[in-house]
């Protein structure tokens, strides 16, 4: 029996990387009865055969998994937000952050298209960068069109499995292409010139950037908080999480409760008002969603 990691799934075949060898495997074994489907990113035990083929016998426990794209054991999510075109939105960024935090995936924030900013706009974006850095996030201002504005990003990927996240048009494919031109993801421009839509269904594959692996498809297409309970929401706001043990009431929702340490921190400007407002907005979304059956 050998061990490896699935790096690609295609029409019922799983490509398992084991040391420096790749095995094309089919699923077999006990996990089938448990209705578990192998995912890209899974650590597996497999039975090798000749010619670099084999059978997957067991799937190791996952630290997390995504449905879209279907991938397991993700270490890091690179959230790409554009500074303009489309305009920078802290609401959207916070939505991504909450979803990623709730899956216990480490987020990194890249703000793209800074080549398009005038001085005032750049100052404004830098203020947001500071807000998020104060919370503890890593934030980089980047451009795919101007190498001078592209900091060294490859070390971010080292020894990790990362997914890119971010709305359409923010510059994810352009960024991946400049990071590693051999990957050549389709950008909007290319697909436009070929006259076809961008969102064709594809398989998922982990590709190498630097010393890390990156899913070749954007993550988090679903931006609803379906799997998050109201009581857990504040856990996904690190600056709330750091203070909520000081709230007077156990189970404080940091909403209408008196003597709430989170609200006090908002009043003292230790927590950004916009973050708190987004918290309240997400809380209401969760509280008013239809019950799940
Ligand atoms: P995706 O949908 O997130 O993958 O976005 P794309 O990479 O397809 O980029 C969308 C559009 O924005 C394309 O027309 C790109 O050429 C443009 N774009 C992407 N990054 C930058 C950037 O850093 N600066 C400028 N000026 N344009 C960019
Ligand atoms: Zn509170």
Ligand 1: nearest atom to the Cα of 142:
23
- The answer to whether residues 61 and 99 touch, using CB atoms and an 8 Å cutoff, is no
């008013």: which residue's tokens? 288
pLDDT of residue 120: 98
- Distance CA(45)–CA(56), nearest Å, equals 6
pLDDT at position 190 over 90: no
Coil, strand or helix: which one is 101? Answer: helix
List every span in the chain annotated with CATH 1.10.40.50.
230-288
Q: What would the pLDDT profile of 141-178 be if each residue is shown by its tens digit?
A: 999 999 888 888 989 999 999 999 999 999 998 998 88
190 lines ligand 1 (CB under 6 A): no
Look up the CATH architecture of domain 230-288: Orthogonal Bundle (1.10)
């900013």: which residue's tokens? 117
pLDDT of residue 195: 44
Q: Which residues contact 145 (CB under 8 A, 6 or more apart)?
A: 113, 115, 174
189 lines ligand 1 (CB under 6 A): yes
- The answer to whether residues 279 and 237 touch, using CB atoms and an 8 Å cutoff, is yes
> Which ligand is closest in space to the CA of residue 256?
2
With 0-12 CB in 10 A as exposed, 13-18 as middle and 19+ as buried, what is 171?
A: buried
> Which ligand is closest in space to the CA of residue 276?
2
How many Cβ atoms are within 10 Å of 226's Cβ, its own excluded?
10
Coil, strand or helix: which one is 55? Answer: strand
List every span in the chain annotated with CATH 2.40.50.140.
2-61
pTM of the predicted structure, to 2 decimals: 0.88
Q: What would the pLDDT profile of 11-68 be if each residue is shown by its tens digit?
A: 889 999 999 899 999 988 666 667 788 999 999 999 999 889 999 999 999 999 988 7
List every span in the chain annotated with CATH 3.40.50.300.
66-216
- Please state which CATH number belongs to domain 2-61: 2.40.50.140
- Distance CA(71)–CA(97), nearest Å, equals 18
pLDDT at position 83 over 60: yes
- Distance CA(17)–CA(8), nearest Å, equals 9
HSE-CB for 167 with a 13 A CA cutoff: 16
CATH for 66-216, options being 1.10.10.10, 3.40.50.2000, 3.40.1390.10, 3.40.50.300: 3.40.50.300
């Amino acid at each position: 029996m050998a061990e490896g990691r699935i790096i690609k799934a295609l029409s019922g075949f799983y490509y398992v990387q084991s040391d420096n060898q790749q095995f094309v495997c089919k699923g077999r074994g006990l996990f089938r009865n448990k209705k578990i489907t192998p995912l890209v990113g899974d650590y597996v035990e497999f039975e090798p055969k000749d010619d670099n083929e084999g059978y997957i016998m067991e799937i190791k426990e996952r630290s997390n998994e995504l449905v879209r794209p279907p991938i397991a054991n993700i270490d890091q999510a690179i959230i790409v937000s554009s500074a303009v075109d489309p305009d920078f939105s802290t609401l959207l960024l916070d939505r991504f952050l909450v979803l990623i935090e709730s899956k216990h995936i480490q987020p990194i924030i890249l703000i793209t298209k800074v080549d398009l900013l005038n001085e005032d706009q750049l100052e404004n974006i830098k203020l947001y960068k500071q807000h998020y850095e104060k919370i503890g996030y890593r934030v980089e201002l980047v451009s795919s069109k101007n190498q001078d504005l592209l900091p060294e990003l490859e070390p971010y990927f080292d020894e990790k499995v990362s997914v890119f996240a971010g709305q359409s048009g923010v510059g994810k494919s352009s960024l991946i292409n400049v990071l590693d031109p051999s990957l050549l993801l389709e950008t909007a421009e290319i697909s436009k010139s070929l006259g076809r839509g961008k969102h064709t269904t594809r398989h998922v594959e982990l590709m190498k950037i630097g010393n890390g692996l990156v899913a070749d498809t954007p993550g988090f297409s679903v931006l609803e908080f379906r799997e998050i309970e109201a009581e857990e929401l504040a856990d996904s706001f690190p600056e709330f999480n750091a203070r909520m043990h000081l709230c007077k009431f156990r189970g404080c929702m940091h909403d209408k409760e008196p003597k709430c340490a989170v609200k006090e921190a908002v009043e003292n400007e230790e927590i950004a008002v916009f973050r708190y407002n987004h918290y309240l907005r997400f809380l209401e979304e969760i509280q008013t969603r239809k019950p799940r059956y």
